[in-house]
Amino acid sequence: MTAICAIGLGANLGDPEAMMERAINLLRLHEGLSVSDLSSTWYTEPVGGPEGQGWYYNRVALVVSELEAIPLLRALLALEVALGRVRAERWGPRLIDLDLLFRAQEIIEAEELTLPHPRMHERGFVLQPLAEVAPDWVHPVKGLSVTEMLARLPKDGPVVQKLPII
């Protein structure tokens, strides 16, 4: 069954903007996926992970997917590997990160995947770009729209700022 999905992209090593563009191009070329919208790039303070790592560049892609959730997750993980991602430490610096944020209104709790993403409602670096492309999507567990979740974030949380278009 075809569904609208949101994929969070993040990177803070090498040339993050170029890496995200490469990832988006690979998403566009992947059979069963069609990128329907892209957020701006947001520059964000690291959340968790080792001290001293660089700030992240983040975007969200809306994708129409013919793939079910777990095959889509596996495809995203394979794209990360194809782009050179090595998982060295949790929340550590990375060349690319592709997170499946949601697949329509599906609720999944499996060993391999939890949907919607279990921490998306707490993260400005997810909600800010998501608000550009899907402000009215309603979290099927929280019952709140992206706009409402964003408004509930603490004002003194990590810095999230939109990069200017050059």
Whether 136 is a known active-site residue: answer no
Report the distance separating Cα 13 and Cα 21, nearest Å.
14
Catalytic residue among 22, 59, 99, 103: 99
- Residue 132: exposed, middle, or buried by beta-carbon count in 10 A (0-12, 13-18, 19+)? middle
Collapsing DSSP to helix, strand or coil, 8 comes out as strand
Catalytic residue among 97, 119, 123, 136: 97
Catalytic residue among 74, 87, 90, 94: 94
Q: Find out whether 129 and 111 touch, Cβ atoms under 8 Å.
A: no
Whether 99 is a known active-site residue: answer yes
Q: Find out whether 62 and 6 touch, Cβ atoms under 8 Å.
A: yes
Whether 123 is a known active-site residue: answer no
Catalytic residue among 85, 119, 123, 156: 85
Whether 90 is a known active-site residue: answer no
Active site residues: 85, 94, 97, 99
